[in-house]
Chain A
Amino acid sequence: AQKVTQAQTEISVVEKEDVTLDCVYETRDTTYYLFWYKQPPSGELVFLIRRNSFDEQNEISGRYSWNFQKSTSSFNFTITASQVVDSAVYFCALRAAAGNKLTFGGGTRVLVKP
């Protein structure tokens, strides 16, 4: 069985602060894929990043960065110098290589105040 846990339900920061979203996962599969999605107030989920289980290299894309640590089954997401437009719900998700289901965490609501 697969499980994704996002322990933080809501985070509130002031603009320009950094914010880190935690994601911890469980799977028995040796090959799997991890994803982050953003859901702005409009409601449509937007794909942000995919990471393969055999590639632990961290990634940076603009103000976004991701820290994948297989040893702790974590795939954390950091927004640097947050902006009001970053306000959204962020979901972490997991899919096994042999599986169909994309399993989502409960999401973390980020509120960036001006």
Chain B
Amino acid sequence: GAGVSQSPSNKVTEKGKDVELRCDPISGHTALYWYRQSLGQGLEFLIYFQGNSAPDKSGLPSDRFSAERTGGSVSTLTIQRTQQEDSAVYLCASSWEGAATEAFFGQGTRLTVV
């Protein structure tokens, strides 16, 4: 596709429910990132996928958070038993392989836990 696509753009869920957020990276990009941005805050790293390598999960805040990337393309971030503090914008980015490459971001999914 032309850019990184995320769905849904907005999600309101009840506390305790599970949610799935989807990211379609730019075609051909082998690296994929998930970040979280709370209201008025900076970007918090969550997880990184690169090709067939084991993902870097060092940023996941708790075991309620998990992510997978199927076929080296689409990624799904799952939050189980959502809490109000999970409310934030979840941003996905993709890039070519290599530290020198810039990451391109999607428009994010705004998650509100009520």
Contacts and interface: CB of A to CB of B under 8 A. Distances in A.
Given A43-B89, A97-B99, A103 B104 contact: no
Interface residues of A, number: 26
Contacts, number: 54
A107 to B, nearest CB: 5
Contacts of A43: 89, 107-108
B43 interface: yes
Interface in A77-102: 91, 95-102
Given A106-B41, A107-B41, 11 more contacts: A33-B99, A33-B100, A35-B102, A37-B105, A44-B107, A45-B105, A52-B100, A96-B99, A97-B99, A98-B99, A100-B50
A102 B89 contact: no
A97 B48 CA distance: 15
Give the dominant DSSP class at B's interface.
strand
Interface in A32-49: 32-33, 35, 37, 42-47
Contacts of A63: none
A100 B91 CA distance: 16
A104 interface: yes
A50 interface: yes
Interface of A: 32-33, 35, 37, 42-47, 50, 52, 91, 95-107
Interface of B: 31, 33, 35, 41-43, 45, 48, 50, 56, 58-59, 89, 91, 93, 99-100, 102-108
Contact of A42 (B31, B58, B107): B107
Contacts of A91: 42-43
Contacts of B48: 100-101
